[in-house]
């Protein structure tokens, strides 16, 4: 079965892997696809290459490139999903300064940021006081009076 492998088998397999990579996250299948395309190119140039050597080249290139990619991407900040504010709208608002729409009484009030009204907690303040968002817990923002009132 493997004795009948020709270069275009590897190339087609490589492109199938690249297409599957577009459907699955993680940048893993891409390296197997590139490895298969490289083996196809080598087989085109050296058609007498045995199937064992083809599989060996494919495995070595694919596995080392996956580990090299993971090592190279390890320290990149955009891969740190813990530090982002995706799906944490309140955390994305930390540092914003806005006026109170509803004064803070008994530690609770409201502000409008963009098109959303937010519940705020902090020291009692009057309507219109400029506040700064310091923290967020769920849909509640922790606020303090802004310094430059």
Tens of pLDDT, residue by residue over 24-79, are 877 789 999 999 999 999 999 999 999 999 999 999 999 999 898 888 877 665 55
CATH topology of domain 89-145: OB fold (Dihydrolipoamide Acetyltransferase, E2P) (2.40.50)
* Lookup: tokens for 47: 């058609």
In this predicted structure, the answer to whether residue 6 has a pLDDT above a threshold of 60 is yes
Return the domain boundaries, the chain: 2-79, 89-145
Looking at residue 27, its pLDDT comes to: 76
Considering the entire predicted model, what is its pTM? 0.51
Question: Looking at per-residue confidence, does 101 or 148 come out higher?
Answer: 101
| Closest to 91 measured CA to CA, from 140, 130, 146, 144 | 140
Q: What is the mean pLDDT of residues 85-104?
A: 86
**Which are the contacts of 96, defined by CB distance < 8 A and separation ≥ 6?**
113, 132, 133
Q: How far apart are CA 132 and CA 70, in angstroms?
A: 40
The DSSP secondary-structure symbol of 117 reads: E
Q: Phi and psi of 24, rounded to 5°?
A: -125, 135
């Amino acid at each position: 079965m493997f004795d009948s492998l020709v270069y275009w088998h590897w190339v087609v397999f490589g492109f199938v892997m690249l297409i599957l990579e577009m459907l699955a996250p993680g940048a893993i299948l891409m390296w197997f696809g590139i490895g298969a395309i490289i083996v196809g190119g080598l087989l085109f140039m050296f058609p007498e290459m045995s199937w064992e050597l083809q599989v060996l080249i494919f495995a070595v290139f694919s596995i080392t490139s996956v580990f090299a990619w993971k090592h190279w991407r390890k320290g990149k900040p955009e891969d740190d999903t813990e530090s982002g504010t995706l799906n944490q709208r309140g955390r994305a608002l930390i540092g914003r300064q806005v006026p109170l729409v509803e004064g803070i009484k008994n530690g609770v009030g409201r502000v409008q940021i963009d098109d959303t009204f937010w519940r705020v907690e902090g020291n009692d303040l009057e309507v219109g006081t400029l506040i700064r968002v310091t923290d967020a817990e769920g849909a509640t923002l922790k606020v303090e009076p802004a310094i430059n009132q």
